[in-house]
């Protein structure tokens, strides 16, 4: 695994790659993995280029090879999240129903929390069924900022 850290419009961000796929995005408050080689590769450079364009409002869809590690349930949630269009939201219940497990609302929330690729896999687009913003690993201020940015684009 290789990790590159850069300052962005949302603060310091780390992006990791392994086997030519982006595997993790770390926010400033996240713990970084120990013993990981730091440096920039062509893929990490491209990942930051796309992230910065997105944060500037110039990109709506990422085109990066992603590899997220998780259970089959988490994978199903993350695959669905990737289909939520930029500028729109879905409730945790909507996600649970869409993946064929309508009682798994809390499990959807846990899968969101464990998403290793926030922003690239847009878990910030999932909100409470009452329309309120709830949990986000990057914090609710960042979640609101990302949703507002996407609505403006």
Residue numbers annotated as active site? 123
Residue 120 CA to residue 46 CA, distance in Å, equals: 13
Q: CB of 125 within 8 A of CB of 61?
A: no
Q: How far apart are CA 49 and CA 44, in angstroms?
A: 8
| Pairing relationship of beta strands 21-26 and 37-38 according to DSSP bridges | unpaired
Interatomic CA distance for residues 42 and 146, integer angstroms = 26
Q: How far apart are CA 45 and CA 49, in angstroms?
A: 6
C-alpha torsion sign, points 30, 34, 39, 40:
negative
């Amino acid at each position: 695994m290789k990790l590159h850290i850069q300052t962005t419009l949302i603060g310091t961000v780390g992006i990791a790659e392994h086997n030519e796929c982006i595997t993790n995005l770390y926010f400033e408050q996240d713990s970084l993995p120990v013993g990981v080689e730091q440096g920039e590769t062509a893929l990490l450079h491209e990942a930051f280029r796309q992230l910065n364009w997105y944060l500037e409002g110039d990109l709506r869809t990422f085109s990066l090879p992603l590899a997220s590690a998780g259970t089959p349930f988490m994978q199903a949630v993350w695959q669905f999240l990737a289909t939520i269009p930029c500028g729109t939201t879905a409730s945790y219940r909507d996600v649970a129903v869409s993946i064929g497990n309508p009682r798994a609302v809390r499990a959807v929330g846990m899968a969101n929390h464990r998403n290793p690729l926030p922003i690239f896999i847009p878990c910030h687009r999932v909100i409470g069924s009452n329309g309120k913003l709830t949990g986000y690993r990057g914090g609710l201020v960042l979640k609101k900022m990302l949703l507002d940015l996407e609505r403006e684009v």
